[in-house]
Amino acid sequence: MPELPEVERVRRMLLPALQGARFTRVTLNRADLRRPFPKRFTRRLVGQTVSALTRRGKYLLATLSSGDVLLMHLGMSGWFRVEPTSDRARRRDRDAALERRHDHVVFVMSSGMTVTYSDPRRFGVMDLVAPDDGTERSALGRMGPEPLSRAFDAAALAARCAGRRVSLKVALLDQHVVAGVGNIYASEALHRARLSPFRLAPTIATRSRRPRPAAVRLAAAIKQVLRRAIAAKESRRYRGGGFRVYDRAGEPCPNTGCRGTVERVWQAGRSTFYCPLCQK
């Protein structure tokens, strides 16, 4: 599933096509994704201008001139394709039709670009949130701090882990603890911080909810792995190269001075990759 770095790369890719541009035509090729599209979806979009394209955790948020917010989540296999509208109109051959079989939403923009949402597994979400709809907005507001923001540091991490009787790895997957971190980068950050994924989350905080040294290392590691991932020139495959432990079971631990071997275990139904020798 796409995590914060993948979603941030998508946001940056979409910026030239969407921000400041007007929806001139919107086509839905099906009635739903993970859930049905909202009523009057196309009518509420056409003619509106995208004033800002931002990200909150794993969500993309397009603020419209109407005040509505187009909320988009990539699910497990969603992706956007951006191409000049004139080029797309000429692609009528068989191969192009085959490629478009998973294209579910098409935005034709006044920027001269067509933005197509493709999702083979259809676990993505698109919703329109009205200015007076507090439900979705409050749900986003209850998410944890953005890990690359100033609001996220060792103190914030320790305070949100205190009192949670779950493992440190499971706590990092909770979007109320920190927004946007998923399975891949939780494993990567824990390895960089040399912390066991099985360690109880409250152990990185004191009784007064202040950060212990483990929280300082982990907060710094989270920021580091996310920044490196965003900057990396990866392909469109979410599981690109460059990971230290993720998907590297059986390989030597890359931490300096460690002679351990990366192992894979299951935690809360997800794969965890870690070094049992140096992650304590």
- Contact (Cβ atoms closer than 8 angstroms) between residue 210 and residue 155: yes
H or E segment to which residue 52 belongs: strand 50-56
| Gap between the Cα atoms of 173 and 193, Å rounded | 16
Catalytic residue, candidates 3, 6, 8, 188: 3
Instruction: Report the C-alpha gap between 85 and 114 in whole angstroms.
Output: 5
Task: Determine which one of 9, 55, 58, 88 is catalytic.
Answer: 58
- The yes-or-no answer on residue 131 being catalytic is no
- Find all residues with CB under 8 Å of 105, minimum gap 6, and list them: 26, 27, 28, 29, 116, 117, 126
In the block, tokens 């989270």 appear at 222
Q: Which pair of tokens denotes residue 52? A: 């800002």
Confirm whether 248 is a catalytic residue.
Answer: no
Virtual torsion, Cα 2, 19, 52, 73, nearest 10 deg: -20
Backbone angles phi, psi at 177, to 5 degrees: -85, -50
Question: How far apart are alpha carbons 280 and 276 in whole angstroms?
Answer: 7
270 part of the active site: yes
Q: Catalytic: which of 2, 5, 145, 211?
A: 2
Contact 199, 186 (CB under 8 A): no
Q: Which of 34, 81, 100, 270 is catalytic?
A: 270
Residue 225 and residue 147 in contact, taking contact as beta carbons nearer than 8 Å: no
Q: Is 58 a catalytic residue?
A: yes
**Which residue is associated with the tokens 């920044």?**
227
Amino acid identity of residue 10, one-letter, is V
**Catalytic annotation, residues:** 2-3, 58, 270
